[in-house]
């Protein structure tokens, strides 16, 4: 993916390594431990799912867990808020459009 939204960071002590994960079956790279939605956004993927009712594309809105717009299926678990779920190596993320309340 050509797009890159990473900002230059002033010399930081933490050296981070990019790891691979998948989004809808496609391989993407991101930093371990950063929220999944951030890793996706950084390489230009802003659409995380489509709205169940209207099929319109949806993605991050609030970025901190309040709006549930960024939900996806993560390693088989449905309706995970990707803006606050840390990425790990090999995480499998896929768009989901069904809706029930997480944790209920």
Partner 1 sequence: MNVDVAIIGSGPAGLAASIELAESGLSVVILDEYYRPGGRLLGQRYEDPKAPETEREWDGMKLALELVEQARKRQVEIRCGVTVWSVSPGWKIELGGADEKTVHAKAVLLATGAAERALPMPGWTLPGVVSVGAAQTFTNLHHVAIGKSVMVVGVDPLAISVALEMKHAGVNVVGVAMAPRSPMTEKLSSPSHALSQLAKAADLAPNPLLRLMGRLAGGRLGKMAVHALRWPLLQIEGIPVDIRKAVARIEGEESVEAVILQSVSANGVPTGREERVEVDAVCLSAGLYPLIELAQVAGCSLVQVPELGGVVPLYGSDLSTTADGLYVAGNITGIEGAKVAMAQGKLAAVSIAQAMGKSPTLPKEEAIQAVKRARALSPIRFLPDVEQGLAKMERLWREAWLSKEGDEAWRM
The answer for residues whose C-beta is within 8 angstroms of residue 55's C-beta and 6 or more apart is 97
Residue showing the smallest CB distance to ligand FES in the complex: 83
Q: Binding to ligand FES by residue 19, rule CB under 6 A? A: no
The strand order across the sheet containing 92-94 reads 26-31, 18-23, 92-94, 71-74, 77-81
| Choice between 11 and 39, CB closer to ligand FES | 39
The listed partner (ligand FES, partner 1, none) that binds 89, CB under 5 to 8 Å by sort, is: none
**Under rule CB under 6 A, which residues in 49-88 are in contact with ligand FES?**
60-63, 65-70, 81, 83
Binding site for partner 1 (CB under 8 A): 5-9, 34-35, 38, 41-42, 46-48, 51, 56-67, 69, 83-86, 102-104
């Amino acid at each position: 993916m050509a797009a890159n939204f990473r900002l230059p960071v002033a010399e930081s002590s933490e050296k981070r390594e990019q790891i691979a994960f998948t989004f809808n079956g496609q391989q993407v790279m991101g930093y371990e431990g950063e929220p999944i939605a951030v890793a996706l956004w950084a390489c230009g993927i802003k659409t995380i799912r489509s709205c169940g009712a209207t099929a319109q594309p949806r993605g991050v809105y609030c970025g901190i867990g309040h709006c549930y717009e960024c939900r996806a299926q993560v390693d088989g678990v449905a309706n995970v808020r990707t803006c606050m779920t840390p990425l790990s190596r090999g995480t499998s993320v896929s768009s989901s459009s069904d809706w029930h309340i997480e944790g209920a």
